[in-house]
């Protein structure tokens, strides 16, 4: 994929371009969870520039130093890239600054957290060299990684590199509209494009494998269900890539429980059978950004729920992992018809994914519809009655929205039910404000009676087709 085809990373590319053109050195932190395309992005951006790319691995300090020297010799043809000339990490980092004395040099240290484990004082070494050399060289040093907590902590107060980063770039998943760009001009209907995002999410690693000439079903079969499919065992592969995970069975059980709708801590513990290790597993999954802890909107002290943040991981643990024996026995078409098709438009998209899509729509298009959104989330009462799909704090007041993944147009009863939920809400965020504005989302659109009633009450209506207009 050429640089012009890198989807929705314009701000990141502009920041990197500015850093490359800046006088003096630039220290850049790039982080984000796995499968988002950080490595691809950095390598594509560096291509055509004088650069050194190094991907670290779980190894020792000695082996890692030797591997970096080898890359220095191969990529930059550096005659000094030997153990005699560059015997230590301090000498090597200083040598990189020397190589950038007269012309820019981009150095990408990818999976940097592995190096931090192997070289205990590496951050302090970089800090020492950086403080001495940054104004005298044009080294563009990029520290990149997927262990979000570790990477963020590099700039914590008291850490050697605190306050030294010129740029900190958090690579996030694409939203549904940007993900749809991977289809190019393929004539996919809006509902099918939303289902695509519901299954594969906003990670470039997955989206790049989509064949727009095939249907969603054909893509899922080819990439997930067929023997030898690229992502057939993806969920477990992701967890096994995390260094701080050893008891994989507990993490599989916790993720399966959440994916199947058990989102309270005590329910997860019981269903997963993970006992006292449940909280530890959830804490780590949150640190990896695979799971989030959600509390009712603007009520952080209330007990919350756990949700899987990545759509593909949710899909895999909800529909693939629990049925892994059947996946081995059945033909892919039969597996689809038996396990995926019955749940995809019901419990999966309707109860798990569509709310997220609606929030993304409001983030993207809310302002154009006169909705200046400050914050947004979901709200539920202590006894879960009522539940409101979306609550947003506006510049003036609040908005409450209902989200219906319905293939057919919904009628005026939906508009009538939402004000009732708002009235029955116990101690909601808007309790001392004016009554919230209302909005409705429906995949299949709205009956004429509802359209007329919504127009009279100034209620925004958003259909599935509106998501891509």
Q: Is the peptide bond before 323 cis (omega within 30 degrees of 0)?
A: no
- Residues 27-48: pLDDT tens digits? 999 999 888 889 989 999 999 9
Fold of the 366-468 domain? Trna Endonuclease; Chain: A, domain 1 (3.40.1350)
- Residues 249-291: pLDDT tens digits? 999 999 999 999 999 999 999 999 999 999 999 998 998 889 9
According to DSSP, residue 410 is labeled B
What burial class does residue 371 get, using C-beta atoms within 10 Å of its C-beta: 0-12 exposed, 13-18 middle, 19+ buried? middle
Token representation of residue 375: 């914050």
The pLDDT assigned to 384 comes to 74
* R_g (Cα) of the chain, nearest Å: 25
**Which part of the chain has CATH 3.40.50.300?**
3-170
* Helix or strand (DSSP H, E) at 347: none
**Which part of the chain has CATH 3.40.1350.10?**
366-468
Q: Which residue has the tokens 């993970």?
A: 274
C-alpha dihedral (213, 216, 217, 222), degrees to nearest 10: 60
Q: Between vectors from CA 158 to CA 152 and to CA 161, what angle results, nearest 5°?
A: 55
Token representation of residue 120: 């205990």
Distance between CA atoms of residues 113 and 147, nearest Å: 7
Token representation of residue 467: 């998501």
- Range in 128-137, 229-238, 455-464 the model is least confident about: 229-238
- Residues 79-138: pLDDT tens digits? 999 888 999 999 999 999 999 999 999 999 999 999 999 998 999 999 999 999 999 999
Range 3-170 classified under CATH 3.40.50.300:
yes
What burial class does residue 180 get, using C-beta atoms within 10 Å of its C-beta: 0-12 exposed, 13-18 middle, 19+ buried? buried
Architecture, CATH, for domain 177-353 = Orthogonal Bundle (1.10)
Distance between CA atoms of residues 380 and 296, nearest Å: 6
- Residues 367-400: pLDDT tens digits? 988 899 999 999 998 877 789 999 999 998 999 9
Count the neighbouring beta carbons within 10 Å of the beta carbon of residue 45: 21
Which residues in 243-275 are b (16+ Cβ under 10 Å) and which e?
Answer: eebeeeebbbbbbbbbbeebbebeebbebbebe
Average pLDDT of the residues in 60-68: 97
Q: Kindly report the pTM of this predicted structure.
A: 0.88
Distance between CA atoms of residues 319 and 205, nearest Å: 20
Tell me the percentage of the chain whose pLDDT exceeds 70: 98
Token representation of residue 79: 């005659």
């Amino acid at each position: 994929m050429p640089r012009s085809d890198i989807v929705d990373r314009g701000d990141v590319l502009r920041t990197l371009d500015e850093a490359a053109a800046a006088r003096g050195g630039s220290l850049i932190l790039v982080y984000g969870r796995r499968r988002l395309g950080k490595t691809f992005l950095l390598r594509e951006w560096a291509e055509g520039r004088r650069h050194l790319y190094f991907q670290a691995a779980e190894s020792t300090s000695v082996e890692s130093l030797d591997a970096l020297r080898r890359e220095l010799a191969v990529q930059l043809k550096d005659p000094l890239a030997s153990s005699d000339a560059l015997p230590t990490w301090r000498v090597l980092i200083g040598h990189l600054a020397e190589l950038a004395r007269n012309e820019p040099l981009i150095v990408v240290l990818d999976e940097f957290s592995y190096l931090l484990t192997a070289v205990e004082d590496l951050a302090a070494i970089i800090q020492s060299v950086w403080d001495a050399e940054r104004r005298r060289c044009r080294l563009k040093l990029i520290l990149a990684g997927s262990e979000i907590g570790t990477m963020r902590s590099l700039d914590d107060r008291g850490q050697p590199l605190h306050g030294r980063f010129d740029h900190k770039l958090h690579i996030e998943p694409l939203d549904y509209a940007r993900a749809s760009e991977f289809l190019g001009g393929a004539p996919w209907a809006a509902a099918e494009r939303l289902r695509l995002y519901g299954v594969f999410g906003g990670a470039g690693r997955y989206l790049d494998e989509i064949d727009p000439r095939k249907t969603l079903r054909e893509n899922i079969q080819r990439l997930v269900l067929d023997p030898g499919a690229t992502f057939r065992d993806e969920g477990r592969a992701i967890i096994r890539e995390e260094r701080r995970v050893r008891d994989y069975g507990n993490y599989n059980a916790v993720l399966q429980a959440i994916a199947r709708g058990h989102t309270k801590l005590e329910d997860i513990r019981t269903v997963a059978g993970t006992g006292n290790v449940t909280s530890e597993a959830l804490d780590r999954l949150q640190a990896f950004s695979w799971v989030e802890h959600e509390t009712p909107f603007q009520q952080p002290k209330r007990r919350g729920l756990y949700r899987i943040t990545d759509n593909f991981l949710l899909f895999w643990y909800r529909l693939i992992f629990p049925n892994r024996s059947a996946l081995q026995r059945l033909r892919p078409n039969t597996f689809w018809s038996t396990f995926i098709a019955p749940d995809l438009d019901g419990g999966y998209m309707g109860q798990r994914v569509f709310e997220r899509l609606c929030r993304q729509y409001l983030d993207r298009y809310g302002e154009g519809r006169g909705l200046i959104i400050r914050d947004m989330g979901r709200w539920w009462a202590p006894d879960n009655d009522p539940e409101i799909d979306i609550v947003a704090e506006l510049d003036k007041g609040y908005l409450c929205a209902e989200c219906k993944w319905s293939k057919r147009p919904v009628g005026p009863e939906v508009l009538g039910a939402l004000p009732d939920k708002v009235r029955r809400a116990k101690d909601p965020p808007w309790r001392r404000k004016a009554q919230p504005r209302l909005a409705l989302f429906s995949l299949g659109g709205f009956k004429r009676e509802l359209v007329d009633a919504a127009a009279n009450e100034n209620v925004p209506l958003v259909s599935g087709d509106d998501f891509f207009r």
